[in-house]
Amino acid sequence: MSKKIFIKTFGCQMNEYDSNRILDTVKKIGFIKTNKIKDANCYLLNTCHIRDKAKEKVYHEIGRVKKSFQFKKKPIVIVTGCVAQAENEEMLKREPYIDLVIGPQAYHKLNNKIEVYLDKQKKIDETEFDSVAKFNYLKKIKNSSIKVSSFLTIQEGCDKFCNFCVVPYTRGPEYSRPFKEIINEAKNLADNGVKEVILLGQNVNAYKDENYRLSNLILEIEKIPKILRIRYTTSHPKDMTDDLIEVYGMSKKLMPLVHLPVQSGSDKVLKLMNRKHVIKDYLKIYERLKKINSSIEFSSDFLIAYPGEDKNAFEATLNLIKKIKFINSFSFIFSPRPGTVASNLKLIERKVSLERLKLVQKELFNNQLEMNRFLKNKVINVLVENKMDKSIKFFGRSEYMTPVIFDSNYEDVGKIIKVKITNSNQNTLFGERVKKSNLRVA
């Protein structure tokens, strides 16, 4: 009987990368991927713990799986990711339908745990932090991503301990993968047809392997001819070092969108959050980068209604958004996470929190709309990713990560082409492929 695995992923890009690597791993013991849950004899849920009712969402999801298999043989049910790390054996006790609970730093043990389970029906939770062993194991398994744009994890974990955040507890301490190993993986991705690499880490710009920093990685990956675009996420303002800023003046493949989470525009709130940066430094980074290349744009994460955010502090966030004109940003209402310093603080009234979120999003969406409208009738560079499902149109992304939809053909997939923008909405640009490249690019 063929062994089929169904993988469902919640959370950040690191989880998406992990899910792909998990698939590469279980292929070694004979599993193939299925997109039909009912065909699966292994169901894997890769979870996120960052906000809201993360834990309840997981049990709810498992409940749905149970229902799907009501009249069929039960699949092996595996929970991985950040909820697995936070809850560990509690999950096995609370939901007997779950068979294995594997934390993010223990994926190298997954095949063995599945085999032990198949052999002895032994339920296991494995949540040791062992990043070195994990990446040592994974480097021997080919990253078989064949997407035009692919993630590449270079760093994991976090030592910053912002008071609101679970990541230091679920992903463990900061760990940077060896420089050479990353370059090999990038070359391998390029050989598979990947054209854009997105370097990933919970604190990607804290990357450090001996004297190598993120800037060195970018310049080395730049030398791989088949790689056309380089991005990185997510960075912390404190680690925007001079060498990384200067790389924007040197690299031709590094995209001009800087995703730099600020969380709040108020120094008072940043201090309460234990963010370890102030607004003056953030603005300095912004100004320096704009000086190097005025077409650089910023995107960010905003944490709204953190306990202690008074009216003035909130106004400061709005003012910062007006000043920097962030595009493509994320905003969330603070959600208390168990085990963090901020877990028991007095919350700002729900109604006020929602109003503030609405105001922030209105400002952010306006920036986005304005930026997209400005591009009307302009020609932009688009990396073509794929043909869209259920449409004859193709999908790609601008240099600023904005989705672009246009007429094209399969030959363009993996190429950077010129698209004249004819229309847009808040999130997407629509356009026509430009045949000759003698038009000016915006």
By DSSP bridging, strand 149-153 and strand 155-156 are unpaired
Closer to ligand SF4 at the Cβ: 51 or 139?
A: 51
15 touches, from ligand SF4, ligand SAM, ligand F3S, none (C-beta below 5 to 8 Å by class): ligand F3S
Closer to ligand SF4 at the Cβ: 4 or 213?
A: 213
14 touches, from ligand SAM, ligand SF4, ligand F3S, none (C-beta below 5 to 8 Å by class): ligand F3S
- Which of 59, 169, 212, 332 binds ligand SAM (CB under 6 A)? It is 332
Per rule CB under 6 A, is residue 158 in the interface with ligand SF4?
A: yes
Local structure of 442: helix, strand or coil: coil
Q: How far apart are CA 259 and CA 111, in angstroms?
A: 35
Closer to ligand F3S at the Cβ: 51 or 271?
A: 51
- C-alpha dist (Å) from residue 22 to 134, 285, 333: 11, 37, 31
Q: Exposure of 91 by Cβ count < 10 A (0-12 exposed, 13-18 middle, 19+ buried)? A: buried
Tokens of 364: 């952010």
CA-based radius of gyration for the chain: 22
286 touches, from ligand F3S, ligand SF4, ligand SAM, none (C-beta below 5 to 8 Å by class): none
Per rule CB under 6 A, is residue 171 in the interface with ligand SAM?
A: no
Per rule CB under 6 A, is residue 49 in the interface with ligand SAM?
A: no
CB of 112 to ligand SAM, least distance (A): 29
CB of 104 to ligand F3S, least distance (A): 7
Which residues of the chain form contacts with ligand F3S (CB under 6 A)?
11-12, 14-15, 48-50, 81-82, 166-167, 170-171, 202
What are 386's strand-pairing partners? 395
Half-sphere exposure of 54 (CA within 13 A, CB side): 25
CA 92 from chain centre, in angstroms, equals 28
- Which of 79, 138, 162, 320 binds ligand SF4 (CB under 6 A)? It is 162
Per rule CB under 6 A, is residue 12 in the interface with ligand SAM?
A: yes
What binding mask, one character per residue, do residues 181-210 give for ligand SF4 by CB under 6 A, x or -? ---------------------xx-------
By DSSP bridging, strand 208-209 and strand 212-213 are antiparallel
Which value, to the nearest 10 degrees, does the dihedral of the CA atoms of residues 35, 40, 42, 44 take?
30
CB of 86 to ligand F3S, least distance (A): 8
- Which of 5, 50, 102, 405 binds ligand SAM (CB under 6 A)? It is 50
Site for ligand SAM in 382-401 (CB under 6 A): none
Under rule CB under 6 A, how many of the chain's residues touch ligand SAM? Answer: 18
Residue among 348, 401, 394 nearest 372 (CA): 401
What binding mask, one character per residue, do residues 207-246 give for ligand SF4 by CB under 6 A, x or -? -----------------------------x----------
φ, ψ dihedrals at 123, nearest 5°: -75, 140
CB of 295 to ligand SAM, least distance (A): 24
Local structure of 187: helix, strand or coil: helix
**Helices of type H across 53-196:** 54-68, 81-87, 89-94, 110-120, 131-138, 167-170, 179-191
Per rule CB under 6 A, is residue 202 in the interface with ligand SAM?
A: yes
What binding mask, one character per residue, do residues 253-272 give for ligand SAM by CB under 6 A, x or -? --------x-x---------
Q: How far apart are CA 224 and CA 215, in angstroms?
A: 15
DSSP state of 170: H
CB of 341 to ligand SF4, least distance (A): 10
- What's the full length of the chain, in residues? 442
Q: Exposure of 242 by Cβ count < 10 A (0-12 exposed, 13-18 middle, 19+ buried)? A: exposed
Tokens of 226: 């088949």
Beta carbons of 307 and 336 less than 8 angstroms apart: no
CB of 19 to ligand SAM, least distance (A): 16
170 touches, from ligand F3S, ligand SAM, ligand SF4, none (C-beta below 5 to 8 Å by class): ligand F3S
Q: What is the residue whose two structure tokens read 């729900």?
A: 350
CB of 127 to ligand SF4, least distance (A): 18
Interface residue list for ligand SF4 (CB under 6 A): 158, 160-162, 165, 167-168, 202-203, 236
Interface residue list for ligand SAM (CB under 6 A): 12, 50-51, 164-165, 167, 202-203, 234, 236, 261, 263, 301, 303, 332, 334-335, 337
